[in-house]
Structure 1
Amino acid sequence: MCGRYVLSGTPSELSAYFGLQDCPDFLPRFNIAPQSDIPVIRQRPEIGLVGQIVRWGLVPSWAKDSSIGAKLNNARAETVADKPSFRSSFTRHRCIIPASGYFEWQAVSRNGKAFKQPWYIRPTEENAYFAMAGLLAKWVAPDGSNLITACVITTEPNGVMTPIYDRMPVILSGNDIGTWLDPVNHDRNVLIPILKSVADETMKAVPVSLSVNRAGNEGPELIQAIELSE
């Protein structure tokens, strides 16, 4: 799964990296949790790639209320094209969720005590971003207002992630980003194969402080590597 992530860049840096035609303002954050407002990137016909602020936690258009979004932070690549919660978004409303890195928790035992050690996973290349594959949905509230939401698609782990956890975000690169964002591409035979784990050499993982466990904690110290005790 993907339950917390980091976006430490600025709107101008994000625009330059992904070639955005427009990007809303946002503040750098080091511990983004579900139900937060987050920047996503989508392709608008005749405009190009643009940023948009949405809520993390997908609320399908048919939902009776928005509370379902708390349960739909992630979608599994293996079933995303067929599950009713995600099927329409997979076909017509895809995005990428930019990230400087993300956190995952490894179940460990140390000194006879079981706990979960957090790890920060980031691009190997400095000042790069992950392009996490995501979905969008629009839900109309009873008062007529629109709520735009998103979720992260996950897949099986690569070699870096296997010792840490059994899932990881789908991270797109190269031509796969354009294929995923193309709003006229509805071909599941083209889209499904790109929802795979990224190459090991494109990412690195470092252990970080237990401080990240609290969603209210913020700051660059959360992504600083620590030494693990024996």
Structure 2
Amino acid sequence: MCGRYSLSKSKIELEERFQAEMLPDFNPRYNIAPTQLVPVITSASPKGFSFFYWGITPDFGKNKPVAQKLINAKAETVDQKISFKSSFQRRRCIIPADGFYEWKKLGKKTKIPYRFTLRDNELFSMAGIWEEYESVSGETQHTFLILTTTPNEVVSEIHDRMPVILTKEAEKKWLDNYSSEEDLKKYLAPYTSDQMLSFTVSPLVNSVANDTAAVMRKTSPMDQHGNYTLFG
């Protein structure tokens, strides 16, 4: 799964990379988590960043653990499952990012956080689908899911899934309302291994309350209690 990512670049960098207009008061994010309101670009509005909830809205998921919140969809079956098929056909989006996090299990209680980026630390996008619905209070709200696929060689050392990362060419096809399902499925594959890096980061990233640049910095491998380990 993909359960945490970052978008630490500036408004100007985002607008230049994606050729879309960002809100004036946008602030970089270092530790994005499910239920938060974050920028995406949709096939319905490709020239501007929209702000959608990741997975479900905070009110709906208030009393549910993350494990029960729907935040990802498997790329292998997104065109087959009734709950996702319509979104895959009509409501696709890309989710801008510059890194994502996964945890390597070293035992029942020990997990080491890793950060994954492109080799040159540039912005990229993850493939997603979105939904629109009316809340209990009558407000129109939007949510999105990140598509995941089998891991490449870099990610497989840590986790058995990774987000679908799109090339710039694939982004255009993904947001094109006239792209066929057959063409779209070609892009739902693991990203090239030699274009990615991974490294251990501070256990500060474990808490969603820590949304600062400190969570992205490369550190020596530590367990969840902050103890140094011999494992990478």
Tell me the CA shift for residue 85 of structure 1: 2.0
Q: 1:160 aligns with which of 147, 154, 162?
A: 154
Secondary structure class of the residue paired with 1:184? coil
Query: What pairs with 1:56-205 in structure 2 (closer than 5 Å)?
Result: 56-57=54-55, 66-67=60-61, 71-109=69-107, 114-126=109-121, 128-185=122-179, 187-205=180-198
- After TM superposition, the score normalised by the length of structure 2 is 0.87
CA contact (8 A) 1:43 1:50 kept: no
Q: Is 1:220 the counterpart of 2:226 in the alignment? A: no
Secondary structure class of the residue paired with 1:49? coil
Secondary structure class of the residue paired with 2:186? helix
* Mapped partners of 1:170, 1:84: distance in 2: 20
Higher strand share: 1
* Mapped partners of 1:198, 1:34: distance in 2: 23
CA contact (8 A) 2:35 2:56 kept: no
- Structure-2 change in CA distance of 1:85 and 1:200 (3 Å): same
Identity percentage over the alignment?
Answer: 37
Secondary structure class of the residue paired with 1:16? helix
* Mapped partners of 1:58, 1:178: distance in 2: 26
Which amino acid is the alignment partner of residue 172 of structure 1?
L
* Mapped partners of 1:169, 1:105: distance in 2: 14
CA contact (8 A) 1:58 1:137 kept: no
Q: Please identify, of 139-148 and 205-214, the stretch whose mean Cα deviation from structure 2 is larger.
A: 139-148
Which amino acid is the alignment partner of residue 215 of structure 2?
L
- After TM superposition, the score normalised by the length of structure 1 is 0.87
> 5+ unaligned residues in a row in structure 2: which ranges?
222-228
**Aligned-residue RMSD, C-alpha:** 2.1
> Any runs of at least 4 consecutive aligned residues in structure 1 with deviations exceeding 4 A, and if so which?
65-70
Secondary structure class of the residue paired with 1:2? coil
CA contact (8 A) 1:43 1:49 kept: no
- In structure 1, the partner of 2:32 is 32
